Amino acid sequence: MPKQPYHLNSTERTLIAVLLIIVIFVSPMSNFWAALDAPWFSPYLAWAVAIFLSWLLQRHIKDSLDK
């Protein structure tokens, strides 16, 4: 029987995205966007990537609390 594709639930997706953002902002990866000779707006670009990820995350969330 072929294996069913594994779908991430919203918690798993959120954890992965948060970890990714922490890696981008807190690890040595910050050397890429915060290099001394980088354009002045590069931190804002990194920030915009995080916002785009947030937008992707929340698209499929349905809420049971809303009446």
Partner 1 sequence: MRFEVWQLFLISILYLGLLFVIATAAEKKWLPESLVKHPIIYTLSLGVYATSWSFYGSVGLAEREGYTFLAVYLGVTIAFMASPILLKPILRLTKEYQLSSLADLLAFRYHSPFSGILVTLLMLTGALPYMALQIQAVTDSLQILTNETQSGFISLGFCLMITLFAILFGARHITPREKHEGLVIAIAFESLVKLVALMTVGLYAVFGTFNGFSGFSSWLENNTEATKALMQPIHDGPWAMMLLLSFSAAFLLPRQFHMIFVENIKTSNLNYASWAFPLFLLLLNISIPPILWAGQSMDLSYGPDLFVLGVSMQSQSAILPIFIFIGGISAASAMIIVTTIALASMCMNHLLLPVSLPKHKQQGVDLYSLLIWGKRILILLIILAGYAFYLFLQTHQELTDLGLISFVAVAQFLPGIFGLLYWNKASRQGFVSGLIVGALLWVITLILPLFSKAGWLVNSPLENIMIPMSSTDSAFWTLLLNSIFFIGASILWPQTEDERKAATACCNNNQGPTHAIPVASTINEFESGLAETIGSETAAKEIKLAISDLKLNEAELDRSDFASLRVQIRHNLSGLIGPVLAGMVVNEQLEVDTSAKVAIADTIQFVEKSLQDSRLELKEISGELDSLRRFHRQVLHDLPLAAVTISLEYQVVSWNKAMEKLTGATEQSMIGKDISRLTSPWSRLILNFLKGDKAVLRSSRINLDDQISILNLFKSDVSGLAENEQHGFVVLLQDHSEIHQLESELAHSERLASIGRLATGVAHEIGNPVTGIACLAQDMQAIPDDIKLQKESIDDILNLTNRISTIVHSLLSYSHVGAEIGHSPETVELRKMIKESLRLVSLSHKGKQIHFINNCPEELTLSGDHQKLLQVLVIVLTNASDASTEGDEVTINATEKNNMIELTVNDSGSGINENILDKIFDPFFTTKQAGEGTGLGLSLAYNIIKEHDGNIEINSQLNKGTQVTIRLTKPGNTLNI
Contact positions vs partner 1 (CB under 8 A): 10-11, 14-15, 17-18, 21-22, 25-26, 30-31, 34-41, 43-44, 47-48, 50-55, 57-58, 61, 63, 65-66
Q: How far is the CB of 22 from partner 1 (least distance, A)?
A: 7
Question: Which CB sits closer to partner 1, 3 or 11?
Answer: 11
Question: Which CB sits closer to partner 1, 2 or 36?
Answer: 36
Residue by residue, what is the 3-state secondary structure of the chain? CCCCCCCCCHHHHHHHHHHHHHHHHHCCCHHHHCCCCCCCCHHHHHHHHHHHHHHHHHCCCCCCCCC
